[in-house]
Structure 1
Amino acid sequence: MSNDTYQLIAIILYMAAMLIIGYYAFRRTSNLTDYMLGGRSLGPAVTALSAGAADMSGWLLMGLPGAIYVNGLAGAWIAIGLTVGAYLNWLFVAPRLRVYTQVSNESITIPSFLENRLKDKSGLLRIVSGIIILLFFTFYVSSGMVAGGVFFESSFGLEYHTGLLIVSAVVLAYTLFGGFLAVSYTDFVQGLIMFLALILVPLFGIFMTGGFGETAASIREVNPNLLNMVSGVTVLGVLSSVAWGLGYFGQPHIIVRFMAITSVKETKHARRIGIGWMILSLVGAVATALVGIAYYQQNAGTKLVDPEAVFIALGQIIFHPFIAGIMLAAVLAAIMSTISSQLIVTSSALIEDLYKAIIKKDAPDKRYVFLGRMSVLLVAIVAAILAWGDHDTILKLVSFAWAGFGASFGPIILLSLYWRKITTTGALSGMVVGAITVIIWGNIKVLSDTLYEIVPGFILCLLVTYLVSLLTYKKNPIIEQEFTDTLEKLTRER
């Protein structure tokens, strides 16, 4: 058999496994809470790895190694910022959000939580939140589909659009039918595959390039500054990279996992598993890029055309074609896990936060589950259309969507969980200001090249929410009681 055949068999087996998991989850999905939140039944390991896999996307195995391959360790500041941000998210948001979403009318989405938490009677907060989710997630899902197209183009020489359609079809199948449980279980398996691949590729690659000393020497021959974290970077550049960590507090597809875990007590175990997985995976991604630099320096006759394909290229060089196929499946896992998570959250925004709020509030759960599935289909089609034409780098698409969520929702979530006086008007004002700041700043090249748009967006959202809330605050005994009940329940269940 040819190398491509071995690799294709591994990819087909992986995709079949994802569809089987999707079918299993479909059999366990009977109502809207099951479809959107898995019945709040996730254990710590599934919660941790599914959150990590949903978070990292194709960026972990393609975008980040590509950035390090081009810029050296100066590009690793993003990984540092993300690790710190993820840890703080698990520490400060996870336990309190798990409790508060139950205390506040069993909220199953972020927009519904904000509406219930602030007792917004107008429905405006929920609608605006849903629209922001739709806007930025469409770009986010599109970035995953771009990664899928690039993956098949780089790995098998398939036409970009063919690869895009294959990835989209498989993700759509298990997400549409299996809902949140399918997304979480497949993310768990995908997280394990990603982890193993990111350990094995650089580990075997180091031996291939002659050990640590030889590898470092080869990298220095290309450019001594590639091993220097501060070479060529500015203070604002480092701030922009580290500021990626701010985004965690407002990512609906990540923090929804906190709402679905079985209990508050399990968040501590999940945090340890999740952060351990994340640190080792990020180190593996950075090491993969460095090994790639050394390998292509030592083998001058070969050339890497696309820096974002360095992980794929090394996997094919180092391993037997079937094992290389499993390495390739890790890239697909990263891509598909994020697309599926974003599709299910976008579906929940369309049905739970827009359809229910604007059109119809009372209908059988089966109808809502059906509409949720149709929403997944609709968003996938729109995202595929966006990904069909000329595509930007994966990192650029992801960074825009990440900033949009971090600046729009991050300060609102933190203030909702920790400050009694936040108001509907304050939250709405801050949310809109954060989103608009990211859109304007991110589309003015001189501004976005100087400072990542999440920084001004997050700061302005926080300030506007705080100031407007102070001006519009009126004591509400129900809100006060729920805040107190949340603190008491949190203390009891820790």
Structure 2
Amino acid sequence: MNTAAFVSLGAYFILMMLIGLYAYRKSTSDVSEYMLGGRKLHPAVGALSAGASDMSGWMLMGLPGAVFVSGYSAAWIAIGLVIGAYFNYRLVAPRLRVYTELSEDAITIPDFFEKRFKDRTRALRILSSVVIVIFFTLYTSSGVVAGGKLFEASFGLDYTLGLFVTAGVVVAYTLFGGFLAVSLTDFVQGCIMFIALVLVPVVAITSLGGFDATHAAVMASPPASVADAPSRVNFFSWFQGMTLIGIISAASWGLGYFGQPHIIVRFMAIRSLKDIAAARYIGMSWMIVTVTGAVAVGIAGVAYVNGHNLNSELTDPETIFILFSQVLFHPLISGFLLAAILAAIMSTISSQLLVSSSSLTEDFYKTFLRKEASQKELVLIGRLSVLAVSLVAIFLAFDRSSNILSLVSYAWAGFGAAFGPLILLSLFWRGISRDGALAGMITGAVTVLVWLYAPITIGGVALSDTIYAIVPGFFFSLIVTVLVSLMRGAPEPKVQEEFDEMMEAMTAVKQPLF
């Protein structure tokens, strides 16, 4: 990597820091601004911020790598995510935007749960905060791992140094600029990702001679560096090596959207209910294009690596996008494309750090330690929390062998199962009770942990290898929440009255079908 590429990356880092400085001056006077931007987010910023923080390094590294190895069958995850994202915008976004403001201006997900159910025991707040901090620390570490791999593969730098560089820049602008900095940098990063995931597959396929030539090259032979690559005869089959359970497992990633705090918090921050539809149009268009581009990168990668005998240079399939950036483009453009990977990584890390920070600040420090803490003090604690979570995530990321997609899948399943059913039922069902919410959350989180780590097998196969943990976790949580709510009787009248107010506010604003 020569000087020109470093210049591009350097310019990107400077831009991120300038945005952080701007946000520091504009929206960090109190904890509501620091954690939620004062609910003034433009729909375009909200949509791209949600998309960029959602996809992370998985979009440019994990998904292309999976498609490189397994073909179209690996794209079932992408299909499930697109469907899940759409229903997240349709079902969760408008109601959550209204309800969190009605619920005494709740600014965190645990805060919303407590106020939604008038939970005087604080059990919902405590448990949901613990879930957020544990799973987000794991999730953040996946982003740091991606950053370490990027610097190692692109610059030949030490993996550990890459961890600190990636985390250091993100922590700087997140710590000082808060939610506005995270959202604005996400918007810029989302634009960079969009351009990169259109540019790279188009240039790669063109260099191979078009779609037909690319198809022929893919069919020629499997990459020598991947011992378990499928037969190229079936590489373009959506069902190669897939069972019905396998397809359900992959597509079920879409269920996770309803419970991802770093995504749904964007809905809470959009400036008005009327802007939700615009955010949906922008967000879904962005997502469909970028996911398609990521799949195309993996397909074109197989053809290019085989056609140019680059198997020895591609030791990790998850770095195929990096390889393309180095061999197909001028160094200045290469730097821009590497910045796109950093953008994907950083946008997710910053969002997760901020949500973890807000939970530690609002749901632990203010609630249990310093109820009378000033706004200035809470902002300071929020910044210190960002630093603390990032250090733990870096420590977890020291394991060089960590697989990005695996780390993301664990955290995604945990949030989806613990929060997904609860979010949906709390927004759509008048009869959900506090006890039902608590029981469902515990059931979802415990089911995922047991599914992932318990030494239990079915026919000699580990639970985690039978079906994705989010499937049993989500549905067990849903069933338990409903059953316990029905057995424990109707919630208190004040809770039901607030739900009715939310429904009235929703019917006053018509949302377009798509």
- TM-score, normalising length: structure 1: 0.98
Secondary structure, aligned partner of 2:2:
helix
CA deviations over 1:104-158 (Å, ceiling 9, x no partner)? 1110011100100000001111010000000100000001000000000011010
Give the C-alpha shift of residue 44 in structure 1: 0.8
Contiguous gaps of at least 5 residues in structure 1: none
Give the C-alpha shift of residue 220 in structure 1: 1.3
CA 1:475–1:253: 2 relative to 1, 3 Å: closer
Distance 1:390 1:200 in 2: 30
CA deviations over 1:405-428 (Å, ceiling 9, x no partner)? 000000000000000111111111
Q: 2:399 aligns with which of 381, 384, 389?
A: 389
The aligned residue for residue 187 of structure 1 is: 186
Give the C-alpha shift of residue 477 in structure 1: 1.9
The answer to whether structure 1 residue 253 and structure 2 residue 262 are counterparts is: yes
Give the C-alpha shift of residue 471 in structure 1: 1.1
Distance 2:172 2:248 in 1: 40
Give the C-alpha shift of residue 389 in structure 1: 2.9
CA deviations over 1:198-228 (Å, ceiling 9, x no partner)? 0000001111111110000111122121111
Q: 1:12 aligns with which of 2, 10, 13?
A: 10
**Amino acid paired to 1:430:** G
The answer to whether structure 1 residue 235 and structure 2 residue 217 are counterparts is: no
Distance 1:260 1:112 in 2: 14
The aligned residue for residue 436 of structure 1 is: 446
Distance 1:475 1:233 in 2: 44
The answer to whether structure 1 residue 489 and structure 2 residue 505 are counterparts is: yes
* Contact 1:83–1:278, Cα closer than 8 Å, also in 2: yes
CA 1:469–1:190: 2 relative to 1, 3 Å: same
Give the C-alpha shift of residue 473 in structure 1: 2.4
Distance 1:41 1:309 in 2: 38
Give the C-alpha shift of residue 474 in structure 1: 3.3
Distance 2:489 2:78 in 1: 39
Give the C-alpha shift of residue 302 in structure 1: 5.0
CA 1:116–1:196: 2 relative to 1, 3 Å: same
The aligned residue for residue 281 of structure 2 is: 272
Give the C-alpha shift of residue 183 in structure 1: 0.3
Distance 1:318 1:432 in 2: 49
Secondary structure, aligned partner of 2:372:
coil
Higher helix share: 1
Give the C-alpha shift of residue 355 in structure 1: 1.6
**Amino acid paired to 1:155:** S
Give the C-alpha shift of residue 360 in structure 1: 2.2
> How many residue pairs get matched?
492
TM alignment of 1:298-337, pairs within 5 A: 298-300=307-309, 303=312, 304-337=314-347
**Amino acid paired to 1:327:** L
The aligned residue for residue 51 of structure 1 is: 50
**Amino acid paired to 2:34:** Y
Give the C-alpha shift of residue 449 in structure 1: 1.0
The aligned residue for residue 370 of structure 1 is: 380
* Contact 2:432–2:490, Cα closer than 8 Å, also in 1: no
The aligned residue for residue 137 of structure 2 is: 138
**Amino acid paired to 1:232:** G
* Contact 2:358–2:382, Cα closer than 8 Å, also in 1: yes
Distance 1:83 1:232 in 2: 22
The aligned residue for residue 465 of structure 2 is: 449
CA 1:132–1:64: 2 relative to 1, 3 Å: same
Q: 1:470 aligns with which of 486, 493, 497?
A: 486
* Contact 1:126–1:357, Cα closer than 8 Å, also in 2: no
The answer to whether structure 1 residue 216 and structure 2 residue 226 are counterparts is: no
- TM-score, normalising length: structure 2: 0.94
Secondary structure, aligned partner of 2:448:
helix
Q: Which runs of 4+ in 1 moved over 3 A?
A: none
Residue identity (%): 55
The aligned residue for residue 27 of structure 1 is: 25
* Contact 2:52–2:347, Cα closer than 8 Å, also in 1: yes
Distance 2:10 2:472 in 1: 44
